[in-house]
Chain A
Amino acid sequence: MSTGTEQAAPSTAATARDAVIAVRGLVKTYPAGRGRRGAATPAVRASDGIDLDIRRGEIFGLLGPNGAGKSTLVRQLTGLLRPDSGAIGMLGHDLVRHPERASRLIGYLGQESTALDELTVSLAAETTGRLRGLDARTARAERDAVLAELGLTELAGRAIKRLSGGQRRLACFAATLVGERQVLVLDEPTTGMDPVARRAVWAAVDRRRAEHGATVVLVTHNVIEAETVLDRVAVMDNGRVIACDTPAGLKVLVADEVRLDLVWRDEPPLHLPEVAALRPAAQISGRRWTLRLPQARARAVIAEITGGQAFAALDDFTLATPSLEDVYLALGGRQKGLVKA
């Protein structure tokens, strides 16, 4: 047994047994583009030495801004991309050596799915089931069950490309679920969905975990989704995992800080010394100032601002406990690409 991680030696054997997915030292570089007229694009190291252990029955999230390398990572897990180096083990199978086995272990929902566009919702689900090796009767039965579960029965006869964006995504998700798999890999499954559809996805994912012990890898850049449904999250930035823990565990990292948002009616009253003093620390976007402060300091600032002349210039203010976004920023994430909705 060689499970070389830098983590505590005694736990590695246990980790390897529990780990449904184990990723070690994964590196993938997209080669430099040969742009025309000197407009060459540089090579991108989209996976830059990734180590992960994902346990059985876990809903494991990959959170990070655009371009962080989330899709690149899951495309290597699903055998679509070959890593430059590193190891991927899934349920005892070496997926770098045998990428073709991934399709027999994983149900995958890609970030954009165009292959099913011109089929009806029902035929897309049924065909996908057939191609997962189900016989005709089972495929039809599972199709009906999944469409009912996701509230898609009404839309079953409609062509996917004539649906709304959120409905389309839900239909593709339905196809992913036909033909049971031990691992689900979902790349931004809820993009464009309304809260009802989103909850249907989360419930379906949760049911598969509870009833079949399925393990789920879910890519998101939605902080709310991450905090609501994930057991553990890997925060990614620039091809690296910069933190990996439960959402609550990650928030402990910044537990003594709170976020203060000040929204000005118009121009901020910079002539007031208490306002001018805040400016260097504020992250400014339009009329909104965001400050990350220790709790006591935040309370003092609020007292100052709301008690003085500055209050007249203030449109709104909120004080919030840290979210995963704050964790991400505190960890040194460079970009501000996370969605809060």
Chain B
Amino acid sequence: MSAAAPVVPGTTGATPGTVPAVRADPAAAPLAPRARLLPALGAVYRAQLSRARVARIPLLFVATFQSVGIMVMLRGVVDGGDAEAARAVVAGSSVLVVAFVALNLLAQYFGQLRASGGLDHYATLPVPPAAVVLGAAGAYASFTVPGTIATAVTGCVLFQLPLVNLWVLAAVIPLAGAALAGLGAALGLLAPKQELATLFGQLGMSAALLLGVLPAGNMPAPIGLVRDLLPSTYGVEAFARTFDPHPDWVMVGADLSVCAAVGVVSLAAATWAYRRAACR
């Protein structure tokens, strides 16, 4: 048996990533074009959104139901006069919907996709990794929109909070969504096993639930620290601040900036994790 001999001489000088055709070997066939980032992202996003119709509706309902349920329960506990607690409960429950879907469900989705070999499909298409991750993350963040709005409105009515500043959800959902979906995607893609991906997703959501819906003032210091480490916290705080009669918009902006920064970092990490998972 002959030793392994290079069959394709002369391709080494090619600059990797030259678009469209790399032709270092004069006889080398031209390569088909790559999919560009934005169209590919759009295609993944659209495909992921359509999955909601087939697979995800029951869970989206559960996410909303859970949050509304928590608010109804806490309505009996939180004293009507305790405005800070009421704000925390409503803001926390609303962002909890985002954590449920974007963090928990997305971690499960990527964990399952990876375990079942589904990533191979994307890995054998000339699609930028960021398009797959951002498309899926964007779709999962979008899934949270109806539930989050429904929860926020219900909460405002239940706790007699003003509805005027709910427009801020237009910033809270995408930014908290980016942070949590990036985290979810990274967890799902990095977990060595599918079960662990599910576990991490569930734990992340539980943390958002336990640390998000109660006012931070009463928490012991170590728990407060954990709370500060959780990206959903900043979405909750930003949203809660807008219930003030005179909201401190600078602080709202600062909290949202934290979400955005975490979003950028976690989505970049998820893209890196995807690259790693897709090519073994």
Q: Chain A residues near B27: list those with CB within 8 A.
A: 17, 92
- Given known contacts A93-B28, A131-B122, what 12 new A-B pairs fall within 8 Å (CB)? A3-B7, A5-B2, A24-B5, A25-B1, A92-B25, A92-B28, A100-B126, A110-B117, A116-B121, A118-B55, A127-B44, A130-B39
CB-based closest 6 A-B pairs: A92-B28, A4-B5, A25-B4, A89-B7, A115-B121, A130-B43
Give the interface SS of chain A, mostly helix, strand, loop or mixed: mixed
Question: Is B164 positioned at the interface, with any CB of A under 8 Å from its CB?
Answer: no
B9 contact set on A, CB distance < 8 A: 1-2
Judging by beta carbons under 8 Å apart, are B32 and A87 in contact? Answer: no
Q: How far is the CA of A2 from the CA of B10 in the complex (A)?
A: 11
Contact status of A81 and B28, CB under 8 A, knowing A4-B2, A86-B4, A133-B36: no
What count of chain A residues pass the 8 Å CB interface test?
Answer: 69
Bits for B10-27, please: 1 = Cβ < 8 Å to A, else 0: 011010100000100101
Q: Point out the residues of chain A lying under 8 angstroms from B55, CB to CB.
A: 118
Chain B residues with CB below 8 A from A119, complex form: 47, 50-51, 54
Contact in complex: B1, A115 (CB < 8 Å) = no
* Residues of A close to B123: CB separation below 8 A: 79-80, 103
- Chain B residues whose CB sits within 8 angstroms of the CB of A161 once the complex forms: 54
Write out the residue numbers on chain A whose beta carbons fall within 8 Å of the beta carbon of B32.
Answer: 104-105, 132-133, 179-181
Query: Is B69 among interface residues, defined by CB-CB distance under 8 A?
Result: no
A114 adjacent to B6 (CB under 8 Å):
no
Contact, CB under 8 Å: A93 / B29: yes
B51 CB contacts on chain A under 8 angstroms: 118-119
B250: Cβ under 8 A from any A Cβ: no
**B35 contacts A87, C-beta separation under 8 Å:** no
Of the candidates B5, B36, B280, the one having the most CB atoms from chain A within 10 angstroms of its own CB is: B5
Interface residues in A127-152 by Cβ distance below 8 A to B read 127-128, 130-133, 135-136
The complex places the Cα of A24 from the Cα of B47 at a distance, in Å, of 39
Please state if B7 and A79 are interface contacts (CB–CB under 8 Å): no
Taking the complex as formed, is B31 at the interface, i.e. its CB lies under 8 A from any CB of chain A?
A: yes
Q: Which residues on A sit within 8 Å (CB–CB) of B124?
A: 78-80, 102-103, 106, 108, 110
Task: Give CA–CA (A18, B201) in the complex, Å.
Answer: 51
B6 touches A2 (CB 8 A): yes
Chain A 17-74 residues near chain B, CB threshold 8 A: 17, 19, 22-27, 49, 51
A112–B2 CB distance below 8 A:
no
Interface contact B34-A120, CB-CB below 8 Å: no
Identify 28 residue pairs between A and B in the complex whose beta-carbon atoms are under 8 Å apart, listed by A's number. A3-B7, A19-B7, A23-B7, A24-B5, A25-B3, A78-B124, A80-B120, A89-B8, A92-B25, A93-B22, A98-B16, A99-B279, A100-B126, A101-B22, A104-B31, A104-B34, A105-B29, A108-B120, A108-B124, A110-B117, A118-B51, A119-B54, A127-B43, A131-B44, A131-B122, A131-B126, A131-B127, A133-B35
Interface positions of A (Cβ within 8 A of B):
1-6, 16-17, 19, 22-27, 49, 51, 75, 78-82, 85-89, 91-94, 97-106, 108, 110, 112-116, 118-120, 123-124, 126-128, 130-133, 135-136, 159, 161, 179-182
Assess whether B125 is in contact with A132, with CB atoms less than 8 Å apart.
yes
Query: Is B261 on the interface with A (CB-CB < 8 A)?
Result: no
Interface residue B113 (Cβ < 8 Å from any Cβ of A): yes
- Which A residues are in CB contact (< 8 Å) with B4? 24-27, 85-87
User: A217 vs B22: C-alpha distance in the bound complex, in angstroms?
Assistant: 24
Interface residues on B, range: 35 or more
Q: What residue in chain A is nearest B123 (Cβ atoms)?
A: A80
In the assembled complex, how far is the CB of residue B134 from the closest CB belonging to chain A, in whole angstroms? 13
What is the bound-complex CA distance between A100 and B44, given in angstroms? Answer: 19
CB-based nearest A residue for B27: A92
| Alpha-carbon distance A78/B44, docked complex (angstroms) | 21
B279 touches A79 (CB 8 A): yes
Q: A80-B124, A82-B280 are in contact. Are A132 and B11 (CB under 8 A)?
A: no
For the complex formed, measure the closest distance between the CB of B110 and the CB atoms of chain A, giving whole angstroms: 11
Instruction: For the complex, give the distance between the alpha carbons of A42 and B215 in Å.
Output: 55
Measured between C-beta atoms, what is the minimum distance from A108 to chain B in Å?
4
**B218 located at the interface, meaning its Cβ lies under 8 Å from any Cβ of chain A in the complex:** no
**Chain B residues with CB under 8 A of A93:** 8, 11, 22, 25, 28-29, 31
- Per the bound structure, the CA–CA distance linking A128 and B40 in Å amounts to 10
Q: Which of B3, B6, B280 contacts A94 (CB 8 A)?
A: B6
Cα distance A6–B4 in the bound complex, in angstroms: 11
Which residue of chain A has its CB nearest to the CB of B278? A80
| B3 with A4: CB separation less than 8 A | yes
**B residues near A123, Cβ cutoff 8 Å:** 46-47, 50
Do residues A132 and B39 form an inter-chain contact, with CB atoms below 8 A? no
Please tell me if the beta carbons of B126 and A133 are within 8 angstroms of each other in the complex.
yes
Most A-side CB within 10 Å, residue of B7, B25, B43: B7
CB of B118 within 8 Å of the partner chain: yes
Q: How far is the CA of A93 from the CA of B25 in the complex (A)?
A: 7
**Min CB distance, A2 to chain B, in Å?**
5
Q: In whole angstroms, how far apart are the Cα atoms of A100 and B125 in the complex?
A: 9
When distances are taken between beta carbons in the complex, the residues of chain B under 8 Å from A4 are 2-3, 5
B-chain residues with CB within 8 Å of residue A81 when the two chains form the complex: 280
B119 close to chain A: CB less than 8 A: yes
Taking CB atoms, residues of chain B closer than 8 Å to A5 are 2, 5
Q: For the complex, what is the distance from the CA of A127 to the CA of B49, rounded to whole Å?
A: 12
Contact between A103 and B44, CB atoms less than 8 A apart: no
- Are A104 and B54 in contact, with the CB atoms below 8 A? no
User: Contacts A81-B280, A159-B54; is A91 near B5 (CB within 8 Å)?
Assistant: no
Contact B35 A112 (CB under 8 A): no
**Complex alpha-carbon distance, A94 and B12, angstroms:** 8
| Cα-based distance from A131 to B113 in the complex (angstroms) | 17
Which residue of chain B lies nearest to A162 when distances are taken between CB atoms in the complex?
Answer: B54
A92–B36 CB distance below 8 A? no
